[in-house]
A and B are shown apart, each in its own frame.
Chain A
């Protein structure tokens, strides 16, 4: 039986800005089950990082939670105390940030930082350092013992990213949230990290919420995919359905734009023409309408609901709605 670990329930989040409220997340609803790997894909700026910083409550000062709940093992995180959140973050939920420099304190050695995150453990310092070195080795950092004495700027971009992954895995969390954890890694390492994450999921039944623009990695790693556009979920479903039978025009275009599909050199790569709507000044109707080549009259006035098309496959587009109702 599937057991729900994380529930995002009608979540809406704004950023207060000089130009008015920027509606960064609107009515986001989806679940992550225990031991499941869920991928999030979507346009740059569509709210992926905002979503995960909301889950962890590590949001910028101008963030306003407008509506909805985030439940982890049944507990509403938006109501939890700062202390409860801090405890949760180190132990049950781990994060690999998009920008590895955000994880690493520039004035502390990597070894010190890896000791600090083990502050709850009763082990001796030597054991903790040995554990840290082992984790660095597991993500492919050569000379791990010597490397513990170095500062973040002495590592390459991909090494910093791997160190962040090693640190996130140290506590064997129930939920690992990873924001583009493989962008700075070469393909062989990327595959190695994917395999390591899959192992972790099998061994510890750890669930993973995985954000990436690399559709190849999503296709290979994830069980389910959530597609976001301009602050909303436009489609979600099992990974095969999303890649082979996408039901939202944005998903379809996104997959078509992947240069991984185009084997011969192209002078002009496919793109989705047009601009993302201004989140501080949202248009009515479907948010994808300005860029959609299948838009109908109705799309200008009515917001399409996120319909269930079949078991576990949801999409927010009037094209499907016609099929559902007729």
Chain B
């Protein structure tokens, strides 16, 4: 059984159709990456899964239980098994609580009174490579990357089965980022932790994700194993995105495929293929609407895929 199953998830804010039907699944112990254009709805997807954003239609099942639109009384006990790492590290930490209170809050919320909170705080800080004395600090006394690590420690507190991680390594230097990814890889091997990870860092995706989905304008446009996507991207948007990744070498020769124009308005979705106006590979046929087609586990929404 899949740990998480998302089927045709739809979210609107008033007239703005943010998610136009998103489907994917995550198996136990698997890491699934969501990448794609800024504003394409990635954060909304995982917030909707966690019950923190509306979802007017579709289905979300966690261990077989339908949870779309479930009330807080249903979600709260599930938060033990499904933890969230927020995109905005400082903003998501309550400013009046010490780091000790913040990272041990999950134990209190779940009513786990028998825990030694001091010891747990120390253990969790150690896990994300922060010194124990940070427990007495307040969020404003942390650097950006330190606050990010506190968010990670908090999400790991209850050893969840699934982590919904929104940009978990943004703002970390490459060494700390490596430590964090090694930690997550290790938890996956030891505890079977599964993860949905949103990141703009394509180098990170390549090292942690088993499968990945690429979003554009509230929909998946391509999905497949990370290997397949990096070696053989079929959707023009995926190709453009991968070609844009800046290389850590001032003399790198970059064969970038430029995206044309501006991202379209969600209020006036383009007709036909929604990527058409910006697609460097568009053909006449692209005025028709591409369907989602799956071939050997590789999903694609394009009428003239690249080969």
Contacts and interface: CB of A to CB of B under 8 A. Distances in A.
Contacts of B144: 44, 49, 98-99, 179-180
Contacts of A283: none
A253 B38 CA distance: 31
Residue picked from A137, A143, A154, A162, most chain B C-beta under 10 Å: A143
A184 B87 contact: yes
Given A219-B249, A260-B247, A157 B173 contact: no
A143 B267 contact: yes
B127 to A, nearest CB: 13
A295 interface: no
Nearest to A221: B246
A191 B176 contact: no
B271 interface: no
A83 interface: no
Contacts of A155: 39
Contacts of A44: 143-146, 148-149, 171-173, 176
Interface stretch (B64-72, B107-115, B257-265, B296-304): B257-265
B181 A240 contact: no
Contacts of A159: 38-39
Contact of B173 (A43, A99, A262): A43
Residue picked from A45, A190, A254, most chain B C-beta under 10 Å: A45
Nearest to A99: B90
Nearest to A140: B262
Interface stretch (B54-62, B133-141, B281-289): B133-141
B247 A186 contact: no
B170 interface: yes
Interface residues of B, number: 69
Interface stretch (A84-92, A107-115, A197-205, A271-279): A271-279
Interface in B116-166: 129, 131, 133, 136, 140-146, 148-149, 166
Nearest to A45: B143
A15 to B, nearest CB: 8
Interface stretch (A164-172, A210-218, A307-315): A210-218
Interface in A18-55: 18-19, 41-45, 48-49
B255 interface: no
Contact of B37 (A42, A49, A189, A215): A189
A157 B88 contact: yes
Given A158-B38, A189-B37, A17 B204 contact: no
A266 B202 contact: no
Interface of A: 15, 17-19, 41-45, 48-49, 60, 98-99, 101-102, 137, 140, 142-143, 146, 154-159, 162, 179-180, 183-191, 194, 213-220, 239-240, 243-244, 253-255, 257-263, 265-272, 275, 278
Interface of B: 13, 35-39, 43, 87-91, 129, 131, 133, 136, 140-146, 148-149, 166-167, 170-179, 181-182, 185, 200-204, 206-207, 226-227, 240-242, 244-252, 256, 259, 262-267
15 contacts: A43-B175, A44-B146, A45-B142, A45-B143, A142-B266, A156-B39, A158-B200, A186-B38, A187-B200, A188-B241, A188-B259, A243-B249, A259-B207, A265-B206, A269-B182
Given A15-B141, A19-B133, A265-B226, 16 more contacts: A98-B171, A142-B262, A143-B267, A156-B39, A156-B43, A157-B87, A157-B167, A183-B167, A183-B200, A187-B244, A190-B246, A213-B174, A215-B248, A216-B245, A220-B246, A257-B175
The 8 A-B pairs at the shortest CB distance, nearest first, are namely A44-B145, A158-B38, A216-B246, A269-B178, A187-B244, A215-B248, A259-B203, A271-B178
